[in-house]
Amino acid sequence: MTRAAERPAITDSNEHDDDLYWDVEGERPDSATSDALNLAHRAVEKFPELAERYKNFAGPVAIASGALVVLAGVAVARRAMRGQNAEEILSQITSSEIEQAASTTSRKNRLWRMVRRVAKRRSQEADASS
């Protein structure tokens, strides 16, 4: 009779985290990025109906969950940039906010509106002076 391979117990130590990234190509995420990704995953777990909707819409589970985590990461990062801590973000984030995270940021829109206003004002001043 053969024995099943023994696996080491999973712990919350840093040694386990170091072993996780040894065979991955690319840069290892820093602690802030790891915390943000963890928070994004926790936000996704808060809305199982959202995960189900993306699973049905996007097709394979891996693609759906990845897309949803990216959207949640953007929503979490926006709140973190406003100075909210992790507990506030998790308690206040909504499923609609996660879904709308892919929309263009209002900052970019404000910049282009300002550029158009300045250009319009300059053209009106040039017409008035002629």
The reported pLDDT for the residue numbered 51 is 79
The reported pLDDT for the residue numbered 91 is 95
Is the per-residue pLDDT at 60 higher than 70?
A: no
CA distance 96 to 104: 15
* Model pTM above 0.75: no
For the chain, give the percent of residues with pLDDT over 90. 23
Instruction: Count the residues in the chain.
Output: 130
- The residue extents of the domains of the chain are 29-103
CA distance 68 to 50: 8
Is the per-residue pLDDT at 127 higher than 60?
A: yes
Q: How far is CA 82 from the centre of its chain?
A: 15
Q: What angle do CA 95, 100, 106 make, to 5 degrees?
A: 135
